[in-house]
Structure formats: C-alpha cells, structure tokens
Amino acid sequence: MWIDAAATIDEVEKTFYIETFGCQMNAHDSEKVVGTLVHEGYAQVESPDQANYIFFNTCSIRDKAEQKVFNRLQHFKNSGKGKVVAVIGCVAQQEGEKIFERAPHVSLVAGSASYTKLPEMLVQLEKGNRRVTGLSLDTELTFDTPFTRRDNPHRGWITVIEGCDKSCAYCVVPFTRGPERSRTGASVIEEATRLAGLGYTEIQLLGQNVNSYRDPSPAGWDFATLLDQVGRVPGIRRVRFTTSHPRDFVKPIIDAIEGNANLCNHVHLPVQSGSSRVLEAMQRLYTREQYMERIQWMREAKRPIAMTSDIIVGFPGETERDFEETLDLLEEVKYDSIFSFKYSRRPNTAALELGDQITEEEKTRRLTIVQERQRAIQMRQNAELLGEEEELLVESWYESTGQWVGRTTRNRTLSFTSGMPDLLGKYVRVRVMRAGPNSLTGEIIH
Ligand code: 5AD
Ligand code: SF4
C-alpha cells in the first residue's frame, strides 16, 4: 500500500514495515498482523526507511535463526532512530524483556498469542509509553481475524490449531507458542468458503501439530473430518496440511485422502531420526517400527502419496550406529524430499541437560552425508517421473528464463515454457521431459 499525497500528518505517521523469519505459521501470522494493522488505519510500506513502525516477526527454532534476528536488529540501532522497533513472534516470546537489554532501541516485544492486542499496544506506545510487552500465553485466544492480508492470490493458509502439547526434547515451540488451541470446524469452513469466493483454489491447513486438531464445538470433528470437509468446499480444488506428528497421525487421515480427490497426494511426516533409541531420547513418543507402520498405510493407498520429512543429525548421544539407522531409513522410505538440520541447543528444552553433545564438526559431516544420500534418492525418484503427465497449479513466472513454475498434487515444482498469456493461478497439464535431483522440467500439453 502506498501513502496518498493528501494524507494527513497523522495518517502518514502510521506507517509500518514488516520482515518475517521462520515457518509458514509465522508467514501466515504476518499476514494476519498486516491485515489487522491496515484495518486499524496503519499503512504498510515496502522499506524500513519509509516506516514509523518496524516489525520483526521472528523465529527461534535453531540458534542460527535467532542470531539472524539479533543481527538484523543491530542494523537498526542507528537507522531505526525516531522509529518504533517491534520484535514479535518466537524470539519475542522466548527472550521476553531480555530483548530490551540486548537491543535497547526495541520498544515492543510480543509473542504470537498476544497479536490480537497489537493495536492496543501500539496505542500505548503512541501515548508515550517507552516499552510495551505482550507475553502471556493466553490459552483462550487464537488469532482468528477476518482482516488477513494474504500475499498469495491462489493458495490460502488457514490456521486450524495453535501451539503444541508435545514435549520433544530439542524443541522450543511449546514454550514459544504455548499449549494447543483448536478453532471450531465451522469457523475453518467459513474461512475456506470466503477464500473460495475470492478465487482461491488451494487451501493449506496450518498448525504445529494438525493431527491433534479437535473441534471445540459440539460437532467435535477430528482432523480427518476437518480435512475432508475443507476438501468439499465448492471451488476448492486442492487441500494440503502441515505439520504432522507421527504419534497422532491416524489411518482415517489416509482414508480421507483416498476418499476425496481434492485432498493432495502429499504428507509431510517428520521422523527426525531412524533410531528408536534416539527417538526415545528425543521424547518423540514413537519407535521406528511405529513410524514405518504409518509409511506402510500410505504405500497401500490407491493413489501414490508423496512423503516428505524432517531429519535432525547430531542429537546428544547419537552414535555412528544410530546415524547409520537414519541413513538406512532414508533408503527404506525413499522420501520425495527432506529438510535436514544439525541439532541446535535451545533454551528451556529437556535436551539441554543431556550429556554427550556431538561436536559441530561431526554434525556437519553427518548433515553432508544425509544430504548427499537424499540427493541420490531424489535423482532416482525424479527420473521415474520422466514421460509422466502431471497437473500443475501455476504459481510463478520468471521473466529472466521465460519459464512458468507450478506445483503438482505431490508437491513437486515443475517448470515449463509456454507462449500462452497469463497462466498464473491456472491449472495446466504438463509432461515431464527432464529430471534433476531438485527440479523437473516439462512441456505443456494442449
Ligand atoms: N535443532 C535442530 N533442528 C530442530 N528442529 C526443531 N528444533 C530443532 C533443534 N533444536 C527441526 C525439526 C522440526 C523442524 C521444524 O525443525 O526437524 O521438525
Ligand atoms: Fe520458528 Fe518454530 Fe516459531 Fe515457526 S513455530 S517461527 S519454526 S520457532
């Protein structure tokens, strides 16, 4: 949004800029923050120089993510003079008022459970309060707003559950996002219907652990029912969800996918480690065998379901043998893709107390091996797609290469050239002609 030349001084002063770090939950939270602030009369601007309020929506999942935020804040120590600098999101919740000590130019610190109170907090600053915080992990409130400003005109994110009740030994999320709170099924359907009316055809349901979704209304839908119902909203052609915890991933979810063609053929089911011993130390609440049982359900489905995962290497006490078990699991499952990370020590987490930390050097070695192994698997998997016909939702256009890029139901991106005008948001059929480990190229089928 641009500022009208005729705007009053008051209006001009209410400009904000927002920068987002972290996961899709955070990116979607920013969409809600933007919508709420715009509704309150603030104008979004595209660079920090033009803004009176600078927001950093932050991530603290690994130390590196957190350091990035503090480096960025440092940059605004001088250039942020005369502006309000606000830290929101996971680092805000985790570090709280300590942020004011580390970065004295920050005036507002608020976690995700306090976003509904943001306009109020800004008013307090406008009244002259030097520092304002919103750090309660209010279990009653979810940030459910009709004002969301979505960045993508075709694929709409919808939060169905906030927070996390698990206590994985490495993870900050239960501390940064609080306990689980589900939205009513009716409000999710209402939002999906509204999005369909605006021309959205793909919905992505979000939560730290969507599988433990439970409708708090008397309808009492579980996640499989919610998924199926969203897939039945007229106008919606694709439904995805993220992220799943294997412990709560039940067979009815696969049954829902099989029974409803609008539910995408893709499940992200983070395993973290292939060793039951490490899984126990991580407090993941499942064994390798129980995880593989869930993979088997997906393999038995009538439609080919793409499977992706997250892997952590170098968790305290992970032996060479445990690590080999992770490599072996990669070969056994043959994921379509994975995100892999070096274990990072996080404040408040149970794993902080564990001895037998793995050196940084060794973690790097293991990460490289995991990534090489997975690359070879993807190379083989993608080669099998040669000649296949895929339906794509076209998501972007790259002027420099003259290529369109779209996504398949199995969450693969595929690029292709076409003389056809404006394909953005359209569904097209493409034949796969070339395959690399991370990319597919095709030709449009007329
Ligand atoms: N160190 C490394 N990776 C982590 N993840 C979560 N916490 C940590 C940590 N402390 C990874 C997990 C999770 C993904 C979102 O981030 O793999 O699934
Ligand atoms: Fe980062 Fe986790 Fe917070 Fe997402 S929920 S922003 S991944 S710490």
Residue ID of nearest Cα to ligand 1 atom 18: 310
Read off the pLDDT of each residue in 360-372 and give the average, rounded to a whole number: 98
Output the CA 443–ligand 2 centroid distance in Å: 37
Average pLDDT over residues 359-380: 98
Instruction: Provide mean pLDDT across the span 149-164.
Output: 95
Same domain membership, residue 208 and residue 352:
yes
Provide the number of structural domains found in the chain. Answer: 3
| Number of the ligand 2 atom closest to the C-alpha atom of 60 | 8
Q: Which strand (E) or helix (H) includes residue 226?
A: helix 223-230
pLDDT 10s digits, 24-52: 999 999 999 999 999 999 999 999 999 99
State residue 81's pLDDT score.
80
CA of 346 to the centre of ligand 1 (A): 10
Q: Which residues line ligand 2 (CB under 6 A)?
A: 22-23, 25-26, 59-61, 89-90, 172-173, 176-177
pLDDT at 144 over 80: no
Residues 43 and 66 in one domain: yes
Please check whether residue 106 lies inside any domain of the structure: yes
3-state secondary structure 254-301: HHHHHHCCCECCEEECCCECCCHHHHHHCCCCCCHHHHHHHHHHHHCC
Tokens of 140: 């009653």
Tell me whether residue 139 is in a domain. no
Give the residue whose CA is nearest to atom 4 of ligand 2.
23
8 A C-beta contact, residue 257 and residue 305: yes
Residue bearing tokens 């359209």: 426
Ligand 1 contact, 142 CB (< 6 A)? no
Are residue 87 and residue 217 in the same domain, yes or no? no
Q: Does residue 147 fall inside a structural domain? A: no
From 86, 101, 134, the end of a domain falls on 134
One domain, residues 192 and 208:
yes
Tell me which residue range forms the domain holding 403.
Answer: 389-444
What confidence tens digit (pLDDT) does each residue in 260-289 have?
A: 999 999 999 999 999 999 999 999 999 999
Ligand 2 atom nearest to CA at 23: 4
In a domain, 86, yes or no: yes
* 337 and 396 belong to one structural domain: no
- Residue 269's domain is classified under what CATH number? 3.80.30.20
Residue 179 lies in a domain: yes
Ligand nearest the Cα atom of residue 270: 1
**Is 265 found in the same domain as 320?**
yes
Domain with residue 430: its CATH number is: 2.40.50.140
Confirm whether 261 is domain-assigned: yes
Residue 140 domain flag? no
How much is the mean pLDDT over the chain? 94
Percent of the residues in the chain that have a pLDDT greater than 90, as a whole number: 89
The best mutation among 173, 210, 245, 310 to test binding of ligand 2, ranked by most ligand atoms within 8 Å of the C-beta, falls on 173
Using the structure block, give the residue that is written with the tokens 């395993």.
Answer: 271
Q: Which token pair is 413? A: 């991106």
Q: Say yes or no: 102 and 199 in one domain.
A: no
Q: Is 175 in the pocket of ligand 1 (CB under 6 A)?
A: no
What is the predicted pLDDT for the residue at 116? Answer: 87
What's the rounded Cα separation, in Å, for the pair 37 and 41?
Answer: 7
CA 38 to chain centre: 23
Same domain membership, residue 204 and residue 167? yes
CA distance linking residue 214 with residue 430, whole number of Å: 38
Percent of the chain past pLDDT 70, that is, above it, reads 96
Residue nearest to atom 8 of ligand 2 (CA): 61
246, 261: one domain: yes
Q: What is the pTM of this model?
A: 0.95
Whether residue 428 lies inside any domain: the answer is yes
CA of 21 to the centre of ligand 1 (A): 15
Q: How many CB atoms sit inside 10 A of residue 91's CB?
A: 28
**Ligand approaching nearest to the C-alpha of 340:** 1
Model confidence at 146: pLDDT above 90: no
Distances (CA, A) of 162 to 20, 65, 114: 18, 21, 12
- The three-state (H, E, C) secondary structure of 205-221, written as one string: EECCCHHHCECCCCCCC
Q: How far is CA 222 from CA 19, 130, 143, 145, 337, in A?
A: 34, 45, 21, 22, 28
139 — pLDDT class (breaks 50, 70, 90): low
Q: 350 and 266, same structural domain?
A: yes
Does residue 319 carry a pLDDT above 80?
yes
Mutate to test the pocket of ligand 2, among 21, 25, 310 (most ligand atoms within 8 A of CB): 25
The C-alpha angle 206, 212, 213, rounded to 5 degrees, equals: 60
The reply to whether ligand 1 has any atom less than 6 angstroms from the CB of 346 is yes
Residue at a domain's end among 134, 163, 179: 134
What is the CATH number for 25?
3.40.50.12160
Q: What is the pLDDT of residue 4?
A: 44
- Give yes or no: residues 314 and 427 share one domain: no
Question: Does the Cβ of 61 fall within 6 Å of ligand 1?
Answer: yes
What pLDDT does residue 137 have? 85
Q: Are residue 188 and residue 288 in the same domain, yes or no? A: yes
Tell which atom from ligand 1 comes closest to the C-alpha of 310: 17
3-state secondary structure 142-186: CCCCCCCCCCCCCEEEEECEECCCCCCCCCCHHHHHCCCEECCHH
Give residue 3's pLDDT.
42
Q: Which of these three, 368, 383, 398, is where a domain ends?
A: 383
From atom 1 of ligand 2, which residue's Cα is the shortest distance away?
59
The per-residue pLDDT for 143 is 66
